[in-house]
Amino acid sequence: GDSVTQMEGPVTLSEEAFLTINCTYTATGYPSLFWYVQYPGEGLQLLLKATKADDKGSNKGFEATYRKETTSFHLEKGSVQVSDSAVYFCALSDPGYIPTFGRGTSLIVHP
Amino acid sequence: GAGVSQSPSNKVTEKGKDVELRCDPISGHTALYWYRQSLGQGLEFLIYFQGNSAPDKSGLPSDRFSAERTGGSVSTLTIQRTQQEDSAVYLCASSGGQDYTEAFFGQGTRLTVV
């Protein structure tokens, strides 16, 4: 079955540091790929998505590129802020199928 | 509604009691999912409803858990004879419209069994 593997956290960074959170996937079809973010005490909200190979999703300074050859969708941001502290989930989804989520990576950004 | 709505936002219950958690999906969304998030853990799939099809119950952890979806809209997750290990955040999501792959989440219900 489909699966998503993302790096273990927590990831602790200083403000303005560069962020990478690795995500790899296994899928039988051609799923869409997502990054969701969960702020403390809230539900998950979509951060960005990509629907086909080589697509780049971007939002709020975050980027991720759908790499079919390496089955990866790594999340990056050039300069993190304290307000980016949250849990980040990588996910994949095919129409009509149950979305599959990674275990989540906690990001802590210090001033 | 504008988004997925869950109620209650918090629920404290005594061990052995039954609880009902409610999810009101985005209007027109045909797919509805329930997930459980335990402290420090990822998302555990529980159950999936798609239109009028029979639900996929493969993620329900025991027969104490059940869910229904009335009229293709509101869903209720019921946990009977609650146990302390049921304490978690229960998240509901829906999808549909032009992009069936994007899931929209509610704020979750934090369940504490004491």
Instruction: Count A/B contacts: CB-CB distance under 8 Å.
Output: 55
Closest CB to A93 among B6, B103, B105: B103
State the Cα–Cα distance between residues A85 and A82, nearest whole angstrom. 6
Spell out the SS3 assignment of A35-59. Answer: EEEECCCCCEEEEEEECCCCCEEEE
B33 close contact with A: CB closer than 8 A: yes
For the segment B55-107, what is each residue's pLDDT rounded down to a tens digit?
999 999 999 999 999 887 999 999 999 999 999 999 999 998 777 788 999 99
Q: Is A110 a residue whose pLDDT tops 60?
A: yes
> Is the CB of B102 less than 8 angstroms away from the CB of A44?
no
What DSSP designation does B9 have? S
Whether the CB-CB separation of A36 and A24 falls below 8 Å is answered with no
Per the listing, tokens 């994007």 go with B102
Q: Which of A63-67, A101-105, B79-83 has the lowest mean pLDDT?
A: A101-105
Residue B26 has pLDDT above 90, yes or no: yes
Strands B10-13 and A3-6: unpaired
Q: How many angstroms away from the CA of B53 is the closest CA of chain A?
A: 11
Please indicate if any CB of chain A lies within 8 Å of the CB of B41: yes
Distance from CA of B64 to the nearest CA of A (A): 22
Q: Note the Cα B43 to chain centre separation in Å.
A: 12
Q: Is residue B46 within 8 Å of residue B107, measured between CB atoms? A: no
What is the per-residue pLDDT across A40-58, written as a single tens digit (0 to 9) for each?
888 899 999 999 999 999 9
